[in-house]
Amino acid sequence: MKSPTIAIALAIVALGAAAACTNGGGLGSINSGGGGTPSPLPSGGIGVGIPTGKIGVENDPVWGTVSGYTQEQTSQIMAFAPGATVMITNLSSNTPHTLNVIGVGATPPPNWPKNPSLSFSPSGNGVLGADYASGSLNPGSSVKVKLSNPGIYLIGCAYHYIEFSMRDVIEVVAGATPGPTASPGPGGYALPARKARPALTRREPHLIDQRGHSFTLSWLRGEPLIVTFVSAHCTDACPLINGQFAAASQRIEHDHLAARLLTITLDPEHDSPKTMRELARRFDADPRHWLVAGGSRSDVHAMMRAFGVISIEGKHGSDDHHTTFIYAINPNGDLAQTLLASSATQDEILDGLHTGRWRTHA
Ligand SMILES: [Cu+2]
């Protein structure tokens, strides 16, 4: 019998493949800046390179900024099942790199040391562990590593950890699904509530919903709030996310659940509150259950910063590349769980609401 987790993971991969405007759960810059389309790596391998061109930079809400390593096409947290043997390949045509373990067994948030001592020589006997180092990998060369020991490994490049922030996370966990949206693992991570609360030390950003009403996140406290960010002109993943939110909104109405969905633009330069109102109309968003919001550039950017959302200007002058996370916030206004957008999003939202697990702190 297939477990629900596997079904969800498959659905996520399917969405990732269909969505040219995103890179699944993370953000990659591989298709921006004229870098061309890289040849994809085998899904079982790890690609290594300086975080431009082939390898992107991802602002992961759980692990922070990671870059320079990839399981398939873009920088991301990498996940493998225990027992796998994977190939570490230097994708550069002119620069040596390494893969060194910096720390093991860490749980989020990561402790990225400022200046770790990373070796240029191989160690660890080809098995990923606390003392593992690939040694210097020349351009185009590869080395195999066995992932015998479950754990969460913080990794970095001895040459480029400091200057280029070449650092990432390898999760060796049961049930890990390799692919463009490898992480977080089944069920996702919940950030510690303190850490997750958007920094609102100054004026809280105001948004404008489809009715033209101004509001802040604090004003929506008292029931679970499910937040995502889209660009109104995206024609790939965002309409799928909007469709999932539309379906979830109807099911919230049908099941009489106390909860609210909120979609915020991640491109306030192009998406005015009027554009977002038209988007709301297109998806028939009932503001009692689903707010669709824009706002001033500074307010929207402040909101994106608070959630760690990143977008990059694409070749059409629009934000083609962006994060596709969904944030479940508890009635106190603390982040309870981060989900990856997928074709199972409506089910995950309804499940989270029905079980009540977003009513308490993580
Ligand atoms: Cu390097």
CA–chain centroid gap for 293, Å, is 21
What dotted CATH number matches 26-172? 2.60.40.420
CA 296 to centroid of ligand 1, rounded, Å = 39
Alpha helices (H) in the chain, listed in sequence order: 4-18, 193-196, 237-254, 273-282, 297-307, 345-355
Tell me if 167 sits within 8 A of 112, measured CB to CB: yes
Dist CA 63 CA 353 (whole Å): 26
Average pLDDT over residues 155-183: 75
**351 C-beta neighbours (distance < 10 Å), count:** 12
CA 347 to centroid of ligand 1, rounded, Å = 41
Averaged pLDDT of the chain: 76
Percent over 70 (pLDDT), the chain: 69
CA 277 to centroid of ligand 1, rounded, Å = 46
- The residues spanned by each domain of the chain are 26-172, 193-359
Higher pLDDT, 75 or 173: 173
Average pLDDT over residues 203-218: 92
CA 60 to centroid of ligand 1, rounded, Å = 20
Instruction: Show the tokens assigned to 299.
Output: 């307010």
* Confidence at residue 128, expressed as pLDDT on a 0 to 100 scale: 96
Strand partners, 67: 57, 167
Half-sphere exposure of 111 toward its Cβ, with a 13 Å CA cutoff?
7
193-359 architecture in CATH? 3-Layer(aba) Sandwich (3.40)
Identify the band that residue 26 occupies on the pLDDT scale cut at 50, 70 and 90.
Answer: very low
Identify the band that residue 237 occupies on the pLDDT scale cut at 50, 70 and 90.
Answer: confident
Dist CA 38 CA 23 (whole Å): 14
Identify the band that residue 99 occupies on the pLDDT scale cut at 50, 70 and 90.
Answer: very high
CA 231 to centroid of ligand 1, rounded, Å = 33
Tell me if 327 sits within 8 A of 220, measured CB to CB: no
Dist CA 309 CA 60 (whole Å): 9
CA 97 to centroid of ligand 1, rounded, Å = 4
Q: Exposed, middle or buried, 16 (CB in 10 Å: 0-12/13-18/19+)?
A: buried
Dist CA 267 CA 294 (whole Å): 9
Q: Where is average pLDDT lowest: 13-22, 124-133, 154-163, 276-285?
A: 13-22
- The torsion angle over the Cα atoms of residues 28, 13, 181 and 229, rounded to 10 degrees, is 70
* Confidence at residue 292, expressed as pLDDT on a 0 to 100 scale: 98
Average pLDDT over residues 281-292: 96
Q: Phi, psi (5° rounding) for residue 265?
A: -65, 145
Dist CA 31 CA 4 (whole Å): 33
CA 359 to centroid of ligand 1, rounded, Å = 43
Q: Note the pTM of the prediction, 2 decimals.
A: 0.51
* Confidence at residue 194, expressed as pLDDT on a 0 to 100 scale: 37
CA 317 to centroid of ligand 1, rounded, Å = 31
Identify the band that residue 22 occupies on the pLDDT scale cut at 50, 70 and 90.
Answer: very low
CA 17 to centroid of ligand 1, rounded, Å = 28
CA 101 to centroid of ligand 1, rounded, Å = 13
Q: Look up residue 305 and give its DSSP letter.
A: H
For tokens 């491109």, what's the residue? 267
